[in-house]
Amino acid sequence: MMKIPFHIIIIFFGVTILQLPAQTPGFYQISRLPFTSDQYDEFAPVFYDKGLVYTTNQRVGFLISRMSAEGENLFNIYYSDQKEPGKWKNPAIFSKSLRSNYHDGPVSFSTDGSLIFFTRNIPGGRNETSTLGIFMAEYSGGEWINIRPFPYNNDKYNLSHPSISEDGKTLYFTSDMPGGFGGMDLYVSQKQGLSWSSPVNLGAVINSSNDEVFPYIHSTGRLYYSSDNNNNGSLDIFYSNPDEHGWQQPVRLPPPINSEADDFGFIASPDLRSGYFSSGREGSDNIYSFGSTFPVFADCDSIQIDGLCFEFYEQRAENLDTTNFHLEWNMGDGTRIRGMVADHCFEEHGTYHVTLDFVNIATGEIESGVADYLFTTPRTEQPFITSADTVSVGTMVTFDASETFLRNFDPGGYYWETGDGAQYEGNKINHYYSETGLYRVTLGVLSDPASRQGQRKACVYKYVFVGGEKIPRSSH
């Protein structure tokens, strides 16, 4: 179980269930980092230089250990760098100047690494081992200097888990300050010159009557955080994208990133395909790396809708004597059209036996054939998405790839991204959207790697409009 370094009483007003799209698990590989331990907790990693800064209650030394009033090891800020992929140096205290006689960490850095925001017990507060605040410091001359409190710290409630935006102008954090939705909520404060604006609650789309903690604002503007707003009471990692109304409906990350235990402290690379998170799935809190196994499909084309309507004309019929005869086309699909020119729409792609006949006007009998050939409707070589173009919020929509047409391409797998964060594999998938909007649906196809041409990729996209009212949270 993840240990939050403060005492907090949670009053449960009922469990709120998020209505979220389901998605296929298994598109991530995870690995526990080698410097983590079963004896201590290591959690809340952040990128720094060539490694990770994180929080741990590891003993500082064999003979001396900093202890809380409750007799527990205090949390410290540690660092381990990775000189080569997969080879981590032994962790060490990140900075002696940031060590204190209180709990320290988690942290967040400005983009250039010159400013640190970190969690620490408020010195001189009502309860120095429980009330947390956010502090700042600047890096100069090889040391962190000018340590100062965030202006909205208060010894009556907690502020913790800071995450600073890429431009350094927005600070996200968690707090149980009065006026929230219950438990710990996520808040935001804006940089205004040399000061910070009053904290603003992120609202009911993000926050619940339970706990929302460990925010992480990605460079794309996507917000990751953890919440125990689920059926089992443990922390799960969610994300939400910003929109013109604030935040879109949160999406729960699939297994194996989320588990039955506490999962939190998520960070990701710029392309979101790799990163780190912490989890209590093996007893103590440990840090894990993750990498996406979902194939990358770049430079996808917009899907082309091939027409099935054609004009048929036979030049050889121009000089025929039609005094006692008429010309009649047999389109090969049961349709017959009289005249020298035939405009016809087929219902589906295929090859049709098309004839132009000389028909006796008096008897109606075919006297001779003017033209006779096989006509194949032209098709664009592409993966193909069959689905409704407009759907309603909460209504199941089927995406079908069976009309994919790729010559000399033996499909080995179909991969879908539905535009709201969900990913699937399969020829046909079902999905529902919980938020209105215009979503880009992408279908990628991998060829069988055993084919003589080797493995190839193809992909297309289309847009689906989701209308109606978004699905609200429902309490049970």
**Whether residue 111 is found in the same domain as residue 245:** yes
> Model confidence over 165-217: pLDDT tens digits?
999 999 999 999 999 998 999 999 999 998 999 999 999 999 999 999 999 99
Please report whether residue 9 resides in a domain.
no
CA angle 74, 186, 208 (to 5 degrees): 110
**Whether residue 282 is found in the same domain as residue 420:** no
Please report whether residue 370 resides in a domain.
yes
**Whether residue 234 is found in the same domain as residue 126:** yes
pTM over 0.85: no
**Whether residue 174 is found in the same domain as residue 51:** yes
| Tally of CA atoms within 13 A in the half-sphere of 9 that contains its CB | 1
Please report whether residue 3 resides in a domain.
no
pLDDT number for residue 68: 52
> Model confidence over 127-141: pLDDT tens digits?
545 799 999 999 998
CA angle 20, 242, 178 (to 5 degrees): 85
Distances (CA, A) of 429 to 133, 303, 412, 414, 446: 47, 18, 16, 10, 17
pLDDT at residue 57 greater than cutoff 90? yes
b/e burial code for range 194-203 (CB count within 10 A of at least 16 → b): eebeebebbe
Distances (CA, A) of 219 to 257, 267, 353, 436: 20, 11, 58, 24
The CA distance from 199 to 458, in Å, is 47
CA angle 105, 108, 109 (to 5 degrees): 130
Please identify, among 351, 376, 401, the residue that sits at the C-terminal boundary of a domain.
376
Residue 126: pLDDT band (50, 70, 90) is low
Please report whether residue 423 resides in a domain.
yes
Q: At which residue do the structure tokens 């947390």 appear?
A: 132
Q: For the chain, what percent of residues have pLDDT higher than 90?
A: 65
> Model confidence over 214-257: pLDDT tens digits?
999 999 999 999 999 877 789 999 999 888 888 988 888 989 99
Please identify, among 268, 292, 316, the residue that sits at the C-terminal boundary of a domain.
292
Residue 475: pLDDT band (50, 70, 90) is very low
- φ/ψ of residue 394, rounded to 5: 80, 0
Please identify, among 342, 376, 410, the residue that sits at the C-terminal boundary of a domain.
376
The CA distance from 432 to 439, in Å, is 12
Residue 468: pLDDT band (50, 70, 90) is confident
Q: At which residue do the structure tokens 């102008």 appear?
A: 169
pLDDT number for residue 22: 42
Sequence-distant (6+) residues with CB within 8 A of 366 are: 328, 357, 358, 359, 360
The CA distance from 134 to 315, in Å, is 84
**Whether residue 351 is found in the same domain as residue 446:** no
Helix, strand or coil for residue 96? Answer: helix
**Whether residue 218 is found in the same domain as residue 267:** yes
Q: Per DSSP, which regions of 141-219 are E strands?
A: 143-149, 159-164, 170-175, 185-192, 195-196, 200-201, 212-217
Distances (CA, A) of 156 to 87, 123, 131, 132: 43, 13, 7, 9
The CA distance from 424 to 430, in Å, is 9
Please report whether residue 302 resides in a domain.
no
**CA 239 to chain CA mean position, Å:** 7
**Whether residue 153 is found in the same domain as residue 50:** yes
CB atoms near residue 181 (< 10 Å): 20
Q: Provide mean pLDDT across the span 463-468.
A: 93
**Whether residue 138 is found in the same domain as residue 282:** yes
212-217 and 236-240 strand pairing: unpaired
**Whether residue 183 is found in the same domain as residue 100:** yes
Cβ-contact 159, 178 below 8 angstroms: no
CATH (domain of 74): 2.120.10.30
The CA distance from 38 to 329, in Å, is 80
457-467 and 390-392 strand pairing: parallel
pLDDT at residue 34 greater than cutoff 60? yes
CATH (domain of 334): 2.60.40.10
Distances (CA, A) of 153 to 136, 178, 192, 195: 12, 13, 17, 14
Sequence-distant (6+) residues with CB within 8 A of 84 are: none
Q: What amino acid occupies position 147? A: I
The CA distance from 280 to 287, in Å, is 9
The CA distance from 3 to 44, in Å, is 12
Query: Domain range spanning residue 452?
Result: 380-475
CB atoms near residue 419 (< 10 Å): 19
> Model confidence over 264-279: pLDDT tens digits?
999 999 999 999 999 9
Please report whether residue 11 resides in a domain.
no
Which position has the higher pLDDT, 449 or 31?
31
Please report whether residue 59 resides in a domain.
yes
pLDDT number for residue 363: 81
> Is cis: bond before 106, omega within 30 of 0?
yes
The CA distance from 236 to 257, in Å, is 9
Q: For the chain, what percent of residues have pLDDT higher than 70?
A: 88
- φ/ψ of residue 63, rounded to 5: -100, -25
Question: Which of 23-27, 86-90, 143-147, 423-427 is predicted least confidently?
Answer: 23-27
The CA distance from 262 to 234, in Å, is 5
> Model confidence over 59-84: pLDDT tens digits?
765 444 455 555 578 999 999 998 78
Cβ-contact 53, 68 below 8 angstroms: no
**Whether residue 319 is found in the same domain as residue 249:** no
pLDDT at residue 410 greater than cutoff 70? yes
The CA distance from 47 to 106, in Å, is 12
Domain count of the chain? 3
Cβ-contact 391, 399 below 8 angstroms: no
**Whether residue 352 is found in the same domain as residue 387:** no
> Model confidence over 348-396: pLDDT tens digits?
999 999 999 888 888 888 877 888 999 999 999 999 999 999 999 889 9
Please report whether residue 170 resides in a domain.
yes
**Whether residue 101 is found in the same domain as residue 216:** yes
Six token digits for residue 421: 């964060």
